[in-house]
């Protein structure tokens, strides 16, 4: 099948095999950029069943244009190239392309290389869709390189570059002439005529002449690397038999005439001039057989020559590798010798250092033994001093007039002999009972006999609470020294922890009151830190140790673990070393827990965790991390206590941010309580009060109303 006379032999026809894979586009783009031809034939092979008999070439349908030819048309518009499109239906893609090339005398064939294509390779390719259909065969590019007509040049393109090419072996005119029985050229015909004449005179001398001619012809064509192909072009009779006839759809000239009469007359004239050669058909047959044998031997010789070249190159490479290996081995030997000498010198130095280190270690051992003896003596002295101080405190506690002294009988009567119905709580110190003393409701904390450090905590709490008074610190009313009982004012709403968790189904604490409670706790803690002459560090701040009275006024309790820190070490720079950390897990300052170094900033960490619980009502474990992630992911509202439905999100976010700063792992990153934390909490508290007053005035208007402004 032809398209607009594109199969005329005198035109250099260019064909590009195209498909749906991307290298087809690269091949077509390379053709428009590098092949100087105004017409390009784009051929696409469809792999379908048994091909039609006769012609199997069709124009593209709409689907083919959309999937295959549309991108090519855009390239043609850019390069001003005329595109001819053809669809071939065949069961074998390479066979369809080669048949089309032979029928239309295509002189230039361009194909896209599949992914993984290597030069001179014959492996199977199955990645691209077009090649998956040729299962069990060589890849398309290799098949066309092997089987393309001798007059066709083949280019394999990958990523706009030629990865392999095969030039034409013979001119197209020679093949066309052979297909019509015409000798290829005058000069070659004259040479063969002379050989035939010599062969007819003397067959032996004719054979030697053939050998000489083949040698000369081979040497003349050796520089072009086409020895085998040149010999094949000489064999006119075999070439004319192997060259397929032109397709019945093809034309040889622009007027559409086949030109058979012209070539026929030329052939008759030629045969008349060589009638003497044709008379000896037996000699010609022998000469042709000998030529075929010589051509086969030449091919074998060239194959052996190529193999020998490859072996020589391989041997040279191996020799280079051996030389390199020897040089590397010599270098390594030199390095080993040098490293051995350096190691010996280093060993001598290390030996001298080891002797000095042993001597220093012996000296250190002697110093350590002396230090251990000194410490034992100091510990004995300190233990004795502590015992004497405890005895003195016990004496003072019995005679202390700063608090009411209760007897055991009074305590038993107030608690109905420690009835379980009067029990209101349980702590590390011991159980807590509700009672009545002097017609006043009180909370009585009983020292558990097996409580660790219980006696010491008892005396510490008495000492701290007797020396300080603050509206947000729990009030110590009295104590029973003999039984280890502490009597406090009774707090009707229990602990902050119970109210956040809504135990006994109590109503949730409003957000305004939560901001107010946080402010009260912070001011009370600042009061402890500023106590003179020594600052007090609570060490066990948590919601369970914050008590609420009937008006939800918060008070700090349980100061049994408190420590008096000298003013010189109360800040975050200088630190007071403790032998062991005390407090509750999740609320203990990580630096204090790891190092035992105590400062007032240790309470700030516990305060930050407790503040996060006030607005979230969630457990303390990992709470700061979860809140920080929620702020980063912009879903902070989901972290707020869902029992409160009217949270002011912006104000709650500000509260959470100051709480997270308090809960920083490093002391130096935590804010100052007096200068940063309390002012922020005071603004939030005032915002809640102003909003409550505004809402109250709206329900009971008595004048112009002004809504409160956010402190943020």
Cβ neighbours, 10 Å, residue 121: 14
* Residue 211: closest CA among 151, 294, 270, 273: 294
Phi, psi of 162, deg, nearest 5: -80, 115
Output the six-digit token pair for 196.
Answer: 């035939």
Three-class SS state of 507: coil
Residues 209 and 217: beta-carbon distance below 8 Å: no
- Token pair for 388: 């004497």
Q: What are phi and psi of 46, to 5 degrees?
A: -95, 130
Kindly report the backbone phi and psi dihedral angles of residue 115, in degrees, each rounded to the nearest multiple of 5, phi listed first.
-60, 130
Nearest Cα neighbor of 619 from 585, 658, 654, 659 is 585
Residue with tokens 């020589």: 312
Which is catalytic among the residues 90, 540, 589, 641? 540
Q: Where are the alpha helices (DSSP H) in 112-161?
A: 129-132, 140-147
Instruction: Round to whole Å and give the CA distance between 246 and 243.
Output: 9
d(Cα 607, Cα 597) in Å, to the nearest integer?
Answer: 18
Token couple for 488: 């406090």
16 contacts 31 by C-beta, under 8 angstroms: yes
* CA pseudo-torsion sign 62, 68, 71, 75: negative
- Pull the structure tokens for residue 464: 């701290």
Contact 117, 163 (CB under 8 A): yes
- The number of beta carbons lying within 10 Å of the beta carbon of residue 575 is 20
Cβ 432 vs Cβ 446: under 8 Å: yes
Would residue 139 show up in a list of annotated catalytic residues for this protein? no
Catalytic residues: 540
């Amino acid at each position: 099948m032809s398209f607009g006379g594109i199969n005329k032999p005198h035109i250099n026809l260019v064909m590009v095999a195209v498909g749906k894979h991307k290298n087809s586009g690269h091949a077509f783009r390379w053709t428009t950029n590098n092949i100087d031809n105004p017409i390009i034939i784009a051929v696409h092979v469809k792999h379908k069943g048994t091909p039609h008999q006769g012609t199997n070439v069709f124009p593209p349908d709409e689907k083919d244009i959309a999937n295959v030819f549309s991108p090519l048309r855009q390239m043609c518009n850019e390069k001003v190239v005329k595109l001819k499109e053809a669809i071939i239906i065949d069961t074998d893609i390479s066979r369809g392309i080669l048949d089309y090339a032979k029928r239309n005398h295509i002189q230039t064939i361009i194909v896209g290389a599949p992914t993984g294509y290597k030069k001179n390779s014959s492996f199977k390719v199955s990645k691209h869709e077009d090649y998956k259909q040729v299962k069990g065969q060589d890849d398309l590019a290799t098949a066309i390189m092997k089987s393309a007509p001798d007059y066709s040049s083949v280019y394999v393109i990958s990523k706009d570059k030629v990865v392999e090419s095969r030039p034409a072996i013979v001119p197209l005119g020679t093949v066309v002439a052979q297909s019509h029985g015409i000798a290829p050229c005058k000069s070659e015909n004259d040479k063969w005529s002379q050989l035939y004449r010599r062969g007819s005179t003397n067959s032996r001398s004719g054979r030697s002449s053939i050998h000489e001619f083949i040698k000369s012809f081979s040497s003349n064509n050796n520089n072009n690397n086409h020895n085998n192909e040149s010999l094949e072009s000489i064999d006119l009779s075999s070439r004319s038999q192997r060259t397929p006839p032109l397709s019945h759809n093809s034309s040889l000239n622009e007027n559409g005439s086949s030109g058979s009469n012209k070539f026929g007359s030329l052939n008759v004239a030629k045969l008349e001039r060589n009638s003497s050669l044709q008379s000896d058909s037996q000699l010609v047959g022998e000469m042709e057989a000998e030529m075929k044998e010589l051509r086969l031997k030449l091919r074998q010789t060239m194959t052996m020559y190529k193999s020998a070249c490859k072996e020589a190159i391989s041997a040279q490479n191996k020799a280079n590798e051996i030389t390199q290996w020897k040089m590397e081995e010599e270098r390594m030997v030199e390095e080993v010798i040098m490293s051995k000498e350096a190691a010996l010198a280093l060993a001598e130095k290390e030996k001298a250092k080891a002797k000095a280190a042993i001597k220093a270690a012996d000296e250190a051992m002697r110093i350590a033994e002396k230090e251990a003896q000194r410490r034992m003596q100091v510990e004995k002295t300190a233990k004795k001093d502590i015992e004497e101080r405890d005895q003195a405190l016990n004496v003072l506690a019995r005679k202390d007039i700063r608090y009411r002294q209760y007897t055991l009988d009074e305590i038993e009567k107030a608690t109905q002999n420690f009835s379980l119905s009067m029990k209101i709580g349980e702590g590390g110190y011991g159980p807590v009972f509700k009672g009545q003393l002097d017609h006043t409701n009180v909370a009585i904390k009983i020292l558990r006999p097996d409580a660790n450090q219980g006696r010491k905590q008892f005396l510490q709490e008495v000492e701290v609470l007797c020396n300080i008074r603050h509206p947000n610190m729990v009030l110590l009313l009295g104590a029973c020294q003999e039984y280890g009982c502490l009597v406090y004012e009774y707090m009707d709403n229990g602990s902050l922890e119970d109210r956040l968790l809504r135990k006994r189904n109590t109503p949730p604490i409003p957000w305004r009151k939560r901001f107010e409670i946080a402010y009260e706790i912070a001011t009370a803690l600042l009061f402890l830190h500023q106590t003179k002459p020594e600052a007090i560090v609570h060490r066990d701040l948590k919601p369970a140790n914050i008590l609420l009275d009937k008006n939800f006024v918060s008070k700090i309790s349980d100061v049994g673990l408190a420590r008096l820190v000298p003013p010189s070490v109360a800040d975050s720079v200088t630190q007071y070393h403790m032998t062991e950390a005390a407090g509750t897990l999740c609320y203990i300052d990580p630096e204090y827990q790891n190092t035992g170094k105590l400062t007032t900033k240790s309470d700030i960490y516990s305060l930050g965790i407790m503040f996060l619980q006030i607005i979230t009502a969630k457990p303390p474990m990992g709470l700061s991390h979860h809140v920080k992630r929620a702020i980063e992911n912009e879903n902070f509202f989901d972290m707020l206590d869902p029992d409160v439905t009217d949270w002011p999100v912006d104000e709650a976010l500000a509260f959470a941010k100051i709480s997270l700063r308090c809960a920083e792992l490093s002391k130096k990153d935590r804010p100052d309580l007096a200068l940063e934390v309390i002012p922020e909490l005071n603004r939030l508290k005032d915002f809640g009060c102003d909003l409550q007053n505004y809402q109250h005035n709206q329900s009971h208007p008595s004048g112009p109303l002004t809504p409160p402004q956010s402190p943020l």
